[in-house]
Chain A
Amino acid sequence: GAGVSQTPSNKVTEKGKYVELRCDPISGHTALYWYRQSLGQGPEFLIYFQGTGAADDSGLPNDRFFAVRPEGSVSTLKIQRTERGDSAVYLCASSLLGPGSNSPLHFGNGTRLTVT
């Protein structure tokens, strides 16, 4: 079946611009996660959705970052006034059940964001 899909696969933007990154999870998965992976590092948690609501956004680095999941399926990560330090691979994952369950995460291939 279809896996987690992320678009675009690559995004280059200028410092100060606004970007949107899209994630289409596996159908039926209620939990959706965004992680950020910098070069040479493991995935770093950003935000987690259970259904339509952001159940935990404690990993968002500042108020320039925002994410939505209006219909409980597709999610969009939005970054305002991008900075060079935002350059990273943004990973989306979904799971059948939420954290604290034994549902493993299924990851997309990520969006590589480069801020020039």
Chain B
Amino acid sequence: AQSVTQPDIHITVSEGASLELRCNYSYGATPYLFWYVQSPGQGLQLLLKYFSGDTLVQGIKGFEAEFKRSQSSFNLRKPSVHWSDAAEYFCAVGASGGSYIPTFGRGTSLIVHP
């Protein structure tokens, strides 16, 4: 079965600074990878997804993520953070061709300082 690790519980950045949120997965075959964002009191919104092809994927709100098979990572990045980006971010992994249910990490809370 697959698993996801988000090593950072909290990340604090200044508005305008760059951002990288870490995600490591464990799965034997090619995974499907997702990043979701959750604002307080809201459901999870899909930011971006990787299935195959180009390992650098672009998402909504200026986010991007890079799949690195050798490092089993799918880190989320943004070049310049806005105060409205403050939220909880979840990485998730699914599996191709099987019956695996998408598994989520515990999340990283992003705090943005003015």
Chain A residues packing against B (C-beta within 8 Å): 4, 33, 35, 40-45, 48, 55-56, 59, 91, 93, 98-100, 102, 104-110
Classify the interface of chain A: helix, strand, loop or mixed: loop
Q: Verify B44–A100 contact, CB threshold 8 A.
A: no
- From A42, A99, A100, A108, B90 is in contact (CB under 8 Å) with A42
In whole angstroms, how far apart are the Cα atoms of A55 and B41 in the complex? 29
Q: Verify A109–B100 contact, CB threshold 8 A.
A: no
In whole angstroms, how far apart are the Cα atoms of A49 and B41 in the complex? 25
- Per-residue contact bits, chain B 55-70, to A (CB 8 Å; 1 contact, 0 not): 0000000000000000
In whole angstroms, how far apart are the Cα atoms of A108 and B51 in the complex? 23
Q: Verify B106–A109 contact, CB threshold 8 A.
A: no
How many residues from B make CB contacts under 8 Å with A? 29
Q: Which A residue's beta carbon lies closest to that of B105? A: A42
Chain B residues packing against A (C-beta within 8 Å): 4, 6, 32, 34, 36, 41-46, 49, 51, 90, 92, 94-107
Q: Verify A102–B51 contact, CB threshold 8 A.
A: yes
Q: Verify A56–B99 contact, CB threshold 8 A.
A: yes
Q: Verify B106–A100 contact, CB threshold 8 A.
A: no
In whole angstroms, how far apart are the Cα atoms of A97 and B76 in the complex? 25
B43, B94, B97: which has the most chain A beta carbons within 10 Å?
A: B43
Q: Verify A41–B99 contact, CB threshold 8 A.
A: no
Residues of A within 8 A of B103 (CB): 45
Q: Verify B46–A99 contact, CB threshold 8 A.
A: no
Q: Verify A100–B104 contact, CB threshold 8 A.
A: no
Residues of A within 8 A of B101 (CB): 33, 45, 48, 56, 59, 99
- From A35, A55, A102, B32 is in contact (CB under 8 Å) with A102
